[in-house]
A and B are shown apart, each in its own frame.
Chain A
Amino acid sequence: MLFFSYFKDLVGREVTVELKNDLAIRGTLHSVDQYLNIKLENTRVVDQDKYPHMLSVRNCFIRGSVVRYVQLPPEGVDVELLHDATRREARGG
């Protein structure tokens, strides 16, 4: 639940989602669900020369299970808040 809540608060921000097939997509986080499926808007592929077939994709749904990383905007990370939430979650909250 921790990361679901965290990503919900991140809606509207620019993130870069890196997939397990090495494709990296940058876009505005539109929505997220409990599986950490992600919908991005105004997307662009980071390495357009390598993946030209993605040029016309402007928004997309990404299945949570194929995500490797999400690069987060520094202003969207409240370290203290994350620590507290993590400790709560670790206690079984």
Chain B
Amino acid sequence: MAAAEEESAVKEPLDLIRLSLDERIYVKLRSDRELRGKLHAYDQHLNMILGDVEEIVTTVEIDDETYEEIVRTTRRTVPFLFVRGDGVILVSPPLRTA
């Protein structure tokens, strides 16, 4: 197999993440958290270092009187973040328009 082909072939799930290095990815985490950031490093546990990260936390509160669900999202940005892999639910690479 040619070297270039070997670099870009997706044979196992983690290859997809390898190809997202230095790209902005979407990460869904436990406890209703989502991250968007540039992937700088990862390992087989899906521990990651992301840059220019936006975190979105979704919380649902019940209104005391109407019992309606109030969905709140809180956002914050962090320059560099290490994310422990055990909280990761899914990782999605950027949309490639080619």
Contacts and interface: CB of A to CB of B under 8 A. Distances in A.
Nearest to A73: B80
Contacts of B44: 89
B82 A20 contact: no
Interface residues of A, number: 26
Interface residues of B, number: 23
Interface string A52-71: 00000000000011011111
18 contacts: A2-B41, A2-B47, A3-B47, A3-B49, A20-B31, A36-B47, A64-B84, A65-B86, A67-B84, A72-B49, A74-B80, A79-B51, A82-B41, A83-B41, A86-B18, A86-B40, A89-B43, A90-B18
Interface of A: 1-3, 6, 20, 36, 64-65, 67-74, 76-77, 79, 82-83, 85-87, 89-90
